[in-house]
Amino acid sequence: MSGGVDSSATAALLIEQGFDVIGITLKLWPQDCVNRAEDKCCGPQAVTDARSVCDKLDIPYYLVDESADFQKHVIQYFADEYKAGRTPNPCVMCNQNLKFGRLIDRADQLGADFIATGHFARVEKKPDDSRYLLKRGRDSRKDQSYFLFSLRQDQLARIIFPLGEKTKSDTRDVARHCNLKTAEKEESMEICFVPDNNYGGFLQSANLVQKHRGDIVNVHGHVLGQHDGIEFYTIGQRKGLGITTPKPVYVVELDAENNRVMVGDESALDRDEFTADRCNWHPFETLTEPIEVTAKIRYNHPGAAATVTPLENGKVKVKLHSPARAITPGQAAVFYQDDLVVGGGWITAGR
C-alpha cells in the first residue's frame, strides 16, 4: 500500500470480493533520506495515509523495511545507468525486484497466497493454462503494463490486479464509498526519489556522481564545447547544453567510453531500427521467429508498428515501420499485440 487512492481502493475491492486482506507498505528510504520523499510514494506521509486506510478497513497493517534492497536494486542501478550513458527506468526495476520480488517473499512469511497492487493492468491465463499473460489495463489513459513487462511467470502466478478492469474514476468512487482519506489525494507522476524532477541534482546530492569535464562534439567529431558529465544529459535534450550553434541541436548520443556528448540537428534523432537485450516473453518462453507488434520505446510513447526478429543470447532486432524520435539506450522497449503484452527488452546503444 503506497498511501495513494489506487492501492487503497484495491484493498477495499479485495475485501468486498471475500479475500482475507493484509496491508503492507515497503519502507524504501533510509532514515536520513526521508525528506526527499516526504509526501511521495512510500514516504512518511504515505505511510500515515496507508495506516489510516487499513484502520478504516479494519485490516492488519505492516511497514516493512526494504531500504537496503531499494538502494541496491533501484538507486544504485539508476546512477550506474546514467554513468554508462544510458537513461534508466527505475519503476520497472522497482516492480521487478521490490514490489513483485521482495513483496512475494514477505507474503510467504505471512502465509498469503497472492499479492495485489493498485496497478492498472490485467493478468490472465492462456486458454490451455500453460502460461500467464499480461495485458493492458482497460483504462488506456492509466494503463501501467509497460512498467510490468519484465515480470516472470512465477511472479505473474501470484499477482492480482483488481483495478485492471476499472477506470481511474471508478477507483476514486470506490474510495469515496468506503470513506477513505485517500479518495481525493492527488497522484504523483515523478520518480518517487526525485520529487522535483531534477535527477542530476539528486545524483550529486546523494554522492552518486561527481562532475567530470568532457567534450561536446557534433556528429563529425568536432568539439563545440564542454560538459560536466554525461550523467546530466539525455537523448533528445535541447535546452541546457551550454553551447551556441547557428541552429538548434539536440543530444543524439552519449559516449561513456570517451566521456563525450554528441549533438546533431533534429533529423539525427530519427531512427527506424535498434536492438534490445535481456528480453522477457509472456505467451511463450523464447522468441523463435519474427513477429509483428506495436512497440513502445518509452512509457508515454504511443507505440509504433514494428517487426521484432530474434538474435543470439536473448537479444532482438526491432525494425520500426516508420522512424521514431529519440530512441534511448537504457529505456524499455515493450511489445504489444492489441491488449496483450507479448514481451519486451532493454534498448541497447549503437545503431
Q: Which residues are catalytic?
A: 94, 192
Q: What ranges make up the beta strands (E) of the chain?
A: 23-27, 61-65, 115-116, 121-125, 132-136, 159-160, 214-218, 223-227, 250-255, 260-264, 270-281, 291-296, 304-310, 316-325, 332-337, 340-347
Q: Classify burial at 215, counting beta carbons within 10 Å of its beta carbon; exposed 0-12, middle 13-18, buried 19 or more.
A: middle
Are 66 and 106 in contact, with CB atoms under 8 Å apart?
Answer: no
Secondary structure class of 346 (helix, strand, coil): strand
Are 250 and 238 in contact, with CB atoms under 8 Å apart?
Answer: yes
Measured between alpha carbons, how far is 56 from 9 in angstroms, rounded to an integer?
A: 12
Residue the block writes with cell 516492480: 95
Q: What ranges make up the beta strands (E) of 159-258?
A: 159-160, 214-218, 223-227, 250-255
- Strands lying side by side in the sheet with 214-218: 223-227, 214-218, 260-264, 250-255
Measured between alpha carbons, how far is 323 from 331 in angstroms, rounded to an integer?
A: 17
Secondary structure class of 141 (helix, strand, coil): coil
Cα torsion for 276, 278, 284, 289, to the nearest 10°?
Answer: 40
**Which residues are 295's β-sheet partners?**
304, 335
Instruction: Give the C-alpha distances (Å, rounded to integers) separating 295 from 39, 195, 233, 335, 342.
Output: 34, 29, 24, 5, 10
Alpha-helical regions (H) of 178-279: 199-205
Are 66 and 26 in contact, with CB atoms under 8 Å apart?
Answer: yes
| 244 secondary structure, DSSP code | -
